[in-house]
Amino acid sequence: MRKGIQAYTIRDHLGTKEQYIQSLKTVREIGYDCIQMGVPSFMTAEEVRDFIDSIGLKSTSAYADFETMATDPAAIKAAIKQAKIFGSDLVGVGTLPIKYRDSREGFLQYAAAMNKIGQELYKEGCKLIYHPHALEFFSFGGGDHGMNVLFNDTDPSCVYFSLDTHWLASGGVNPVEWILKAKGRMPLVHFKDYAIGPDAPTIETVIKLFAEVGEGNLDWPKIIQACRDIGVEYVIVEQDICKGNPFDSLRTSYNNMVKFGV
């Protein structure tokens, strides 16, 4: 499995072309060899590709706006073009819009829209990839929740997932079980640990923290084995909030993954 990062982790260090170039060089120096990111305003997709190629990084996927693709066929074509420039067959979208989140019917509507976009991408050899957080595990009662809808009511031939270990734990489910469930639909997984802060003001308060891989409470040997079992290609570290310098956090996660045999 290749080790990479989600550029959101270092978002505060990508504001200019100079910062962008130096930050990605630092990521490569740590040891990562792939990155999940969009195209910054000050570069073209071709310029991004040429630069990351020159330092030994690979872009894992293109990025696109779901609502734009849902209403504008040209946006789907643009996403396909970006993916092909990057040498990828994956087009990622962000979290489902708020209007879909509070009912089973809303999740079904979103799943149907993802299928429509995914089928258009599939015609050109691409797949839609969705990154869940905790909110998709909103319960409808009776053991059913939004993520069940997104998983069961989307087309497995063209709608894929990039599950996230922290958000699975935060959503109250077993990360290993869901990773295994995604076999055949998850070439890319997000790694970050789930930690609990010690300074809760009351015993009823839970302070959950984003932590470096291996520095929290998740069972990494089992998670990593599950990823191997289903054929994950890219392990992408994404730490939404870092206690200090995000590059130090990325280095800790990288070194711990090496210790775990990734």
Q: Token digits for 248?
A: 């130090």
Q: Domain ranges in the chain?
A: 2-259
Phi, psi of 2 (to 5 degrees): -80, 140
Please list the residues that pair with 189 across neighbouring strands: 235
Give exposure, 38-74, as e/b (b: 16+ Cβ within 10 Å).
Answer: bbbeeeebeebbebbeeeebbbbbbbbebeebbeeee
41-46 mean pLDDT: 96
- Which of the listed CATH numbers 3.40.50.450, 3.40.50.300, 3.20.20.150, 3.40.710.10 matches domain 2-259? 3.20.20.150
Give exposure, 17-36, as e/b (b: 16+ Cβ within 10 Å).
Answer: eeebeebbebbbebebebbb
Residue 143 has pLDDT above 90, yes or no: no
173-184 mean pLDDT: 98
Is residue 243 within 8 A of residue 12, CB to CB? The reply is no
pTM above 0.75, yes or no: yes
